[in-house]
Amino acid sequence: MPETKEIHTLSLKSYKNVFDTLYTSLCLFAENYVDNLDVAKDIVQDVFIKIWEDKIEFKNEIAVKSYLYTSVKNKSLDFLKSKRFKTTDHMSVVDIDNLNKDSFYLKEVVIEEASSRIEEAINTLPNKCAQIIKLSIKDLTNAEIAQHLNISINTVKAQKKIAYKRLRPLLKNYFVLLAFVFESSN
């Protein structure tokens, strides 16, 4: 008897979970193509609507992510090739071809996935520690962070040290992956 593979459509609960988990990352991913956050949001919403209306079936979570990122990429490229875009903005065929390359797509997917994992890891930190790291990521100096949070510079330094110690083991694989992707794309 042939082996059957478990394929299922997303229930409302799992659909909502996928939406809540990936919506922001997919919008930022689409924005890298279309360079307009509002258009990117429309593209992502269209993809989610299509999944729901067509009751598209997936083998597992990886298949869902793969489908979503690929669909968002394709819809973004379709938008760039559309008459509406061509009449309002000017992008050469070469620029669109560069966006269509697998290396651009893979790099952007890895960046979005890593960003999502970094955000999740930061959210595991104690509140003050997480605030300091988020401000640090925004390129604020220790003095600016201290002033913004009304704490001493030494507290900022101590909290950063704690944060880095906790984040390093959680994120080591993502930094290796990012380094590999950027090295191979040069």
- Percent pLDDT > 70 in the chain is 68
> Comparing C-alpha atoms, which of 116, 40, 45, 103 is closest to residue 77?
40
* Residue 41 predicted with pLDDT over 90: yes
Output the 3-class SS for 15-46.
HHHHHHHHHHHHHHHHHHHHCCHHHHHHHHHH
User: What tokens were used for 153?
Assistant: 């510079």
pLDDT in tens, 64-86: 788 888 889 888 888 877 755 55
Whole-model pTM?
A: 0.48
pLDDT in tens, 104-120: 656 666 666 767 777 78
Mean predicted lDDT score pLDDT of the chain: 75
Residues near 5 by beta carbon (within 8 Å), at least 6 away in sequence: 59
DSSP character at residue 3 = P
Which of the pair, 106 or 20, is modelled with greater confidence?
20
In the chain, the domains with their CATH numbers are: 1-96 (1.10.1740), 101-186 (1.10.10.10)
